Amino acid sequence: MPAPAIRFRSEAEAAAALSLAPPGGVFLISAPGAAAWPGARVVAAMVARAAAAHPGAQHEAALDCGSAPGLALDALRQGWRILVLDPAHPSFPAVRAAAEEVRATLLPAAPEALDLSRLDLRRPGGLALLARHLTAPCP
């Protein structure tokens, strides 16, 4: 993924990343296992509201399904096009095939990302760290 990756757990975190998005955009990744809780629909709504608040910000979003292939398949049915699923699960190849069928991407691991739960985005220092991450050259 060429855009800087951000792990988010809330609409506010996703919105903060989008508010500082560089021209190349941001790759938003849900919290680990977010497909189970809060669920694919809730995470999609968080991303949609954050994107609506920052309409000019380019982004892609991935739903982390942990080791739950059933939740990954459900997320595909709901319209998710980038998922993360543990490749050690025996159903990984079947989920990959289902993803390919709908032209979705199934990642065996999330890319290296800044986890926003570790920053206090209410403080200038937290926002500065986020801004620095978003403008740093991607590996």
| In the chain, domain spans | 5-135
pLDDT in tens, 13-69: 999 999 999 999 999 999 999 999 999 999 999 999 999 999 999 999 999 999 999
Q: What is the CATH number of domain 5-135?
A: 3.20.20.70
> What pLDDT sits at residue 61?
98
For tokens 């500082």, name the residue.
Answer: 20
> What pLDDT sits at residue 138?
66
C-alpha Rg value of the chain to the nearest Å = 15
> What pLDDT sits at residue 139?
60
First to last CA, the chain: 10
pLDDT in tens, 71-115: 999 999 999 999 999 999 999 999 999 999 999 999 999 999 999
Q: Comparing C-alpha atoms, which of 119, 104, 109 is closest to residue 60?
A: 104
